[in-house]
Amino acid sequence: MTITREERIRGSIVGGAIGDALGAGIEFLDLEEIEEEFGPGGVKTLTPYYGHDAPITDDTQMTLFTAEGLLVANVKGTDRVEEVWNAYQRWLCTQETASPDEIDLTEDGLIGIFDLHTRRAPGNTCISALKAGEPGTPSNRINGSKGCGGIMRAAPAGMVTSSDEEAYELGCEIAALTHGHPCGWISAGVQAVMVRRLLEGESIQDAVDAGREMVVNDSRDRGVLEAIDSAIELASQSPLDGWKLSEVGLGWIGEEALAIAVACLLAQSDPNEALLLAVNHSGDSDSTGAIVGNLVGAHYGIDALREDWCREIELRSLLDSIADQIVSIS
């Protein structure tokens, strides 16, 4: 059965939110604690957190604002990275205004959506970098952070670009706005390349190889390349579980989050099982879940994701709207 580009983009946006939600309630638990609460293997489905049955976190919030910045740039013909920076400033406002009387719900765009004005454990690096007011670049690094806050929001960069080189550069530049260490933004460039390749209908292995090739040719750092190779080796030892995933790290930093995603993708051919594998470990569960969700959704399409998860996910209509807008320009 042919999977359309529209189905893949919708799958990537919604899949990322599902992975985010699957990991939201266990983000700060180690695997022993997760299995003690949810049984052997950990969570098996969406669990309530943040007052919602299937909550998104800052990962999906920032992915949506990334998409909004890219969409604005397309309409206005302005610089994409600059517009994403502006969008992140709007996201920062949502993290600092939570009461109805502080929010202008007549404003256009995401900032006017009340349900986005909520703090869902936002990353300290993102908050501090955006408050500093000076965007970072790969050559003018704002800090030394290699946190996964760059890669977890990078998927839209792969949706609006037409070559691996363009996707890689855009993914790197968007992540470097807030994360200064090369592993923090090179990993995001790889994520963008893999999303782009999967949207074109290529295999997971081809997508991983394409992302790896971009890193091989980037002399600025070798940490991400080592992480990818470790993930490929780990995946060859499947079946995997959360205990084995710890061999490539816990996902709090960019290259480890990417490694977990690559290992899950290569080792598990069922997209829904890949999502569960991606969150049931002792690390940054919502971020690794979101990254894997963006990838499996792009590869398998929206119809391959569990219907109940798709139905229950927070802000589903907004996710669909953003996906439709991306489809219209891609």
Give the model confidence (pLDDT) of 161-180 as tens digits: 999 999 999 999 999 999 99
Rounded Cα distance, 210 and 208, in Å:
5
> Which runs of consecutive H residues, i.e. helices, occur in 200-267?
204-216, 223-235, 242-245, 254-267
What confidence tens digit (pLDDT) does each residue in 300-324 have? 999 999 999 999 999 999 999 999 9
What is the per-residue pLDDT for 99?
Answer: 62
User: What is the band of 97 on the pLDDT scale with cuts at 50, 70, 90?
Assistant: low
Tokens for 55, please give them. Answer: 């909550």
Work out the burial of residue 74: count CB atoms within 10 Å of its CB; fewer than 13 is exposed, 13-18 middle, 19 or more buried: middle
What is the per-residue pLDDT for 105?
Answer: 65
Mean pLDDT value of segment 131-137: 94
Mean pLDDT value of segment 120-133: 95
Mean pLDDT value of segment 197-205: 98
What is the per-residue pLDDT for 330?
Answer: 85
What is the per-residue pLDDT for 96?
Answer: 85
What is the per-residue pLDDT for 66?
Answer: 98
pLDDT at 295 over 70: yes
Mean pLDDT value of segment 59-76: 98
Measured at the CA of 294, the angle between CA 290 and CA 300, to 5 degrees, comes to 130
Separation in Å, CA 312 to CA 14, 52, 123, 177, 279: 11, 10, 25, 33, 18
What is the per-residue pLDDT for 87?
Answer: 96
pLDDT at 51 over 80: yes
Mean pLDDT value of segment 51-75: 97
Full residue range of the structural domain in which residue 168 is found = 5-329
Residue 99 makes CB contacts below 8 A (sequence gap 6+) with none
Rounded Cα distance, 83 and 319, in Å:
20
Residue 4 neighbours by CB distance under 10 Å: 12
What is the per-residue pLDDT for 275?
Answer: 98
What confidence tens digit (pLDDT) does each residue in 218-262 have? 999 999 999 999 999 999 998 999 999 999 999 999 999 999 999
Mean pLDDT value of segment 173-190: 98
User: How many domains does one find in the chain?
Assistant: 1
CATH number at residue 43: 1.10.4080.10
